[in-house]
């Protein structure tokens, strides 16, 4: 086996892009598909997505949201109902023009997003106030012909995501829904993936086309680039009017409904890889790890195996009884060192080593993946494993938050802004609120307003670009 097949061959600090791709492939999360821009999700990668999906589903369900399914093909005539919205997606749309050798007539788009399809159906399903609120979430794939450089999980022409679409009788109720979903997203990403996020609104320039406003959560990655982690949109009546999503109130007076839409994608997995991985490979937060504990039995002969394996099985059974996800690495012909490196590559949070000498001491060696710390724990103290996993989850978020803070800068001088933006980071900078300044900053530096944090209004400073009175302190950054 060649060196290129075994470990990560580049440093995370020296070649972040290549490091990231190697981790995705060598940790066996995903692989490239035969079609450019598409990837295949391998079992470990899909398991992480399933874990997130299960968590979101539980939280959505508590909020009265149910799951549905939408087909992938959308007629072009339907998309034309909301021209302004669809124009933003048009360059990225895949079109189906033939069925076998016959032309289909009305071209069919492979779903870039589902607003037009969902709301055409909603207009049929909603008649009166008794039908509201209507809250449906769809676990779909979406397809967008990426023209930029593709990268697994971060930018692909097909991706897994969820998109929710809700309908309400009042503006106030719809806006509350927008914030409820954003809170669900924020809490899940921080608690499950151990990645800190900043929440707020997009600028008018960067908001979702068709939305009244867009709320977002953004994270800063170790290479200094920003990553949009999820969005929740207040659509107002911008879609209910062209799609005639109406309801009759208690007095039988007809009104246009108020709507929201929101979504996250498998981009979250890419963020997790970047935020926590190191030069040995993947580092997984315990809550989403497909395998939380791997046990590596160590013995040289059959006699050693007969002594060690009963204890290994006993430890596995004890852990699984507490719903810990466990694997035993009893592969033949591989050294313990090779196995250690292999599991470090895959990012398993805890490794347990048990050999004949450990049996004599009535203890086992426990190695933490995220900081390489090793502990010796008595077999009778197996419950400590549960506490260690909880501790790892907490400490990974603390470390990621510390890294994000060190990559965040308060800066109000435009000359300094331009000189430091090359190194990347979150830049908290005063802005007057004018599109002209936003455009000029992006044109001259490549940085855009990623998020205007909630309660970031500030009229006490001068706009970093035009020096007029500031309106807020948004976060500027270059992004993925």
Taking CA 300 as the corner, what is the angle to CA 294 and CA 302, rounded to the nearest 5 degrees? 95
The predicted structure's pLDDT at residue 303: 86
For residue 81, being part of any structural domain is answered with: yes
- What do you get for the CA distance between the two ends of the chain, in Å? 35
* 254 and 332 share one domain: no
16-26 vs 267-276: helix crossing angle, rounded to 10: 110
Q: How many CB atoms lie within 10 A of CB 83?
A: 10
Domain range enclosing 454: 408-477
Domain boundary among 276, 304, 334: 276
CA distance 414 to 479: 19
Is omega for the bond preceding 133 within 30 degrees of 0, making it cis?
Answer: yes
* 19 and 143 share one domain: yes
* 302 and 446 share one domain: no
Tens of pLDDT along the chain (480 residues) come to 344 457 999 999 999 999 999 999 999 999 999 998 999 999 999 999 999 999 999 999 999 999 999 999 999 888 877 666 556 566 788 999 999 999 888 899 999 989 999 999 999 999 999 999 999 999 999 999 876 778 999 999 999 999 999 999 999 999 999 999 999 999 999 999 999 999 999 999 999 988 999 999 999 999 999 999 999 999 999 999 999 999 999 999 999 999 999 999 999 999 999 999 999 999 999 999 999 999 999 998 988 789 999 999 999 999 999 999 999 999 999 999 999 999 999 999 999 999 999 999 999 999 999 999 999 999 999 999 999 999 999 999 999 999 999 999 999 999 999 999 999 999 999 999 999 999 999 999 999 999 999 999 999 999 999 999 999 999 999 999
* 18 and 60 share one domain: yes
* 110 and 250 share one domain: yes
For residue 284, being part of any structural domain is answered with: no
* 438 and 331 share one domain: no
43-62 vs 171-192: helix crossing angle, rounded to 10: 140
Asked if 137 and 170 touch (Cβ cutoff 8 Å), the reply is: no
For residue 401, being part of any structural domain is answered with: no
The closest of 181, 158, 168 to 63, measured between CA atoms, is: 181
Q: What is the CATH number of the domain that holds 306?
A: 3.40.50.800
Phi, psi torsion values for 175, nearest 5 degrees: -65, -35
* pLDDT tens track for 433-457: 999 999 999 999 999 999 999 999 9
* 180 and 103 share one domain: yes
The predicted structure's pLDDT at residue 436: 98
Domain boundary among 358, 388, 418: 388
* 55 and 99 share one domain: yes
Taking CA 12 as the corner, what is the angle to CA 11 and CA 14, rounded to the nearest 5 degrees? 65
Q: What is the CATH number of the domain that holds 435?
A: 3.30.110.30
Q: What is the CATH number of the domain that holds 66?
A: 3.30.930.10
Domain boundary among 213, 244, 276: 276
Number of domains, the chain = 3
For residue 399, being part of any structural domain is answered with: no
């Amino acid at each position: 086996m060649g060196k290129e097949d075994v470990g990560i061959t580049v440093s995370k600090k020296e070649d972040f892009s290549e490091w990231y791709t190697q981790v995705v492939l060598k940790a066996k999360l995903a692989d490239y598909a035969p079609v450019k821009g598409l990837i295949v999700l391998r079992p470990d990668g899909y398991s992480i997505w399933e874990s997130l999906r299960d968590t979101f589903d539980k939280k959505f369900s508590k909020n009265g949201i149910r799951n549905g399914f939408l087909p992938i093909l959308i007629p072009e005539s339907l998309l034309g109902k909301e021209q302004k919205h669809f124009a933003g997606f048009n360059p990225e749309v895949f079109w189906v023009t033939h069925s076998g050798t016959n032309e289909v007539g009305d071209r069919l788009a492979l779903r870039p997003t589902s607003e037009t399809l969902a709301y055409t159906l909603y207009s049929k399903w909603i008649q009166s106030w008794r039908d509201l609120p209507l809250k449906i979430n769809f676990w779909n794939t979406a397809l967008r012909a990426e023209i930029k450089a593709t990268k697994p999980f971060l930018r692909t022409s097909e991706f897994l995501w969820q998109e929710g679409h809700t309908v309400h009788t009042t503006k106030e109720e719809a806006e509350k829904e927008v914030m409820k979903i954003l809170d669900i997203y924020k809490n899940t990403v921080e608690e499950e993936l151990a990645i800190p996020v900043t929440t707020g609104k997009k600028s008018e320039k960067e908001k979702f086309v068709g939305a009244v406003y867009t709320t977002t959560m953004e994270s800063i990655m170790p290479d200094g680039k920003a990553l949009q982690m999820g969005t929740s949109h207040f659509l107002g009546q911008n879609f209910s009017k062209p799609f005639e999503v109406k309801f009759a109130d208690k007095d039988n007076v007809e009104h246009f409904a108020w709507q929201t839409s929101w979504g996250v994608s498998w981009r979250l997995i890419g963020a997790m890889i970047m935020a926590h991985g190191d030069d040995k490979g993947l580092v997984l937060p315990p809550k989403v790890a497909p395998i939380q504990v791997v046990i590596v039995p160590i013995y040289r002969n059959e006699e050693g195996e007969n002594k060690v394996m009963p204890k290994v099985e006993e430890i596995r059974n004890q852990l699984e009884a507490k719903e810990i996800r466990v694997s035993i690495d009893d592969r033949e012909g591989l050294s313990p060192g090779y196995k250690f490196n292999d599991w470090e590559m895959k990012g398993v949070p805890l490794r347990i080593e048990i050999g004949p000498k450990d049996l004599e001491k009535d203890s086992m060696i426990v190695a933490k993946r995220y900081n390489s710390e090793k502990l010796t724990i008595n077999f009778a103290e197996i419950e400590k494993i549960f506490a260690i996993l909880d501790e790892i989850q907490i400490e990974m978020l603390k470390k990621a938050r510390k890294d994000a803070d060190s990559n965040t800068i308060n800066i109000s001088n435009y000359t300094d802004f331009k000189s430091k933006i090359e190194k990347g980071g979150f830049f908290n900078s005063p802005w007057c609120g004018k599109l002209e300044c936003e455009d000029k900053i992006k044109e001259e530096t490549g940085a855009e307003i990623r998020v205007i944090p909630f309660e970031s209004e500030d009229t006490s400073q001068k706009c970093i670009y035009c020096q007029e009175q500031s309106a807020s302190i948004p976060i500027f950054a270059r992004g993925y």
